[in-house]
Amino acid sequence: MMAQAWHSAIDALCCTRACTRMMFFLLDLLWMLIELSYSILSAVLQTFLRPRLKCIEGELCLITGAGGALGRLFALEFAKEGANLVLWDCNQAANEQTAELAREKGVKVYTHTVDLSRRQDIYEAAEKVRLDVGDVTILVNNAGVVAGRRLLECPDELLERTLLVNCHALFWMTKAFLPQMKAQNHGHIVTIASALGLFSTACVEDYCASKFGAVGFTESLAHDLHAENLNGIKTTLVCPYIVDTGMFEGCEIRKELRGLIPPLDPLYTVKQSMNAILAEQQMICIPRLMYIPLLTRALLPWEANVATYRFMGGDRCMMPFIKNMEIKAAKDQVKTS
φ, ψ of residue 323 to 5 degrees: the values are -65, -45
Q: 179 preceded by cis ω (within 30°)?
A: no
**Cβ(191)–Cβ(141) below 8 Å:** yes
Interatomic CA distance for residues 169 and 52, integer angstroms: 31
Which among 219, 206, 198, 208 is positioned nearest to 290, based on CA atoms? 198
Alpha-helical segments (H) within 201-318: 205-227, 266-278, 291-299, 302-312
Interatomic CA distance for residues 100 and 106, integer angstroms: 10
- Annotation marks residue 123 as catalytic: no
pLDDT of residue 336: 63
What size, in residues, is the chain?
A: 337
Answer positive or negative: Cα dihedral of 152, 155, 157, 158: negative
Q: Is the pTM of this model over 0.75?
A: yes
Mean pLDDT per 10-residue interval, the chain, length 337 residues: 56 67 72 73 66 92 97 98 98 98 97 98 98 97 95 94 98 98 98 94 94 98 97 97 92 84 95 97 93 86 89 86 82 66
- Give the contacts of 128 (CB within 8 A, at least 6 positions apart): 112
pLDDT of residue 13: 56
According to DSSP, residue 311 is labeled H
Interatomic CA distance for residues 226 and 244, integer angstroms: 35
Interatomic CA distance for residues 141 and 310, integer angstroms: 32
- Give the contacts of 8 (CB within 8 A, at least 6 positions apart): none
Interatomic CA distance for residues 158 and 140, integer angstroms: 24
Find how far residue 232's CA is from the centre of its chain. Answer: 19
Interatomic CA distance for residues 314 and 253, integer angstroms: 6
Helix, coil or strand: residue 104:
coil
Set 207, 241, 268, 309: catalytic member:
207
Q: What angle do CA 202, 265, 289 make, to 5 degrees?
A: 60
- Give the contacts of 158 (CB within 8 A, at least 6 positions apart): 147, 149, 206
The amino acid present at 43, given as its one-letter code, is A
Helix or strand run (H / E) with residue 296: helix 291-299
According to DSSP, residue 168 is labeled I
Taking the CA of residue 328 as centre, how many other CA atoms within 13 Å lie in the half-sphere pointing to its CB? 14
pLDDT of residue 84: 98
